[in-house]
Chains A and B, each alone.
Chain A
Amino acid sequence: GAGVSQSPSNKVTEKGKDVELRCDPISGHTALYWYRQRLGQGLEFLIYFQGNSAPDKSGLPSDRFSAERTGESVSTLTIQRTQQEDSAVYLCASSRRQGRLEQYFGPGTRLTVT
């Protein structure tokens, strides 16, 4: 079946602009995660959605970052007033509630802020 998809695959933006990144999880997966991977670093947890429960936003680095998810489908990660330090690969993952320890990752969106 189809895996996790993300769009765009690459995004170049100017400092100060807003960007929106999209994630389509695997159908039937109730849990969705966003991670950030800066150059030479490991993945950093950003946010977790589980069904209709309140999301765990504890990893969002600043109030310029926000994410939404409608039900158990698409999620968008929005970064407002982008800064150069926001340049990274943003990865989305999804999992079944029961097997939520196995996360399935998308290919990521490479964001470059100039």
Chain B
Amino acid sequence: AQSVTQLDSQVPVFEEAPVELRCNYSSSVSVYLFWYVQYPNQGLQLLLKYLSGSTLVKGINGFEAEFNKSQTSFHLRKPSVHISDTAEYFCAVSETGGSNYKLTFGKGTLLTVNP
């Protein structure tokens, strides 16, 4: 079984500042890693995913994340945020085997970008 810990439930930042949303996971098997974003009154949308290969993954809207196997982390970063990035962000993990459709999510981090 896997578990995901998002260390910060809320992250307030000012517009144009950099941001890092932290995610750590626990698993006894190899994993795939995901970040989803949920804008107000909308469904979850995939930001980026790590399946294999380069540990630095780039996603939509200027976000990127780095897979660190030794630290079991998959932190999400953006060098300069906009007001429109205000949303809830969820980190998720699945095993790489036959049940890879079964996502385990963290509790989410609410990113609030202030002017």
Contact = CB atoms under 8 A, between A and B. Distances in A.
A3 B43 CA distance: 9
A56 B44 CA distance: 22
B interface, over-half SS:
loop
B46 A45 contact: no
Interface string A66-105: 0000000000000000000000000101010000111111
Interface stretch (B61-69, B73-81, B102-110): B102-110
Contact of B43 (A41, A42, A45, A105): A105
A44 B41 CA distance: 19
B4 A91 contact: no
Contacts of A42: 4, 90, 104-108
Contacts of B17: none
Contact of A45 (B49, B51, B102, B108): B102
A107 interface: yes
Given A43-B90, A48-B101, A103-B103, A91 B49 contact: no
B32 to A, nearest CB: 6
B107 A56 contact: no
A50 B44 CA distance: 21
Interface in A41-68: 41-45, 48, 50, 56, 58-59
B80 to A, nearest CB: 27
A102 B103 contact: no
Interface of B: 4, 32, 36, 41-46, 49, 51, 90, 92, 94, 99-108
Interface of A: 3-4, 31, 33, 35, 40-45, 48, 50, 56, 58-59, 91, 93, 95, 100-108
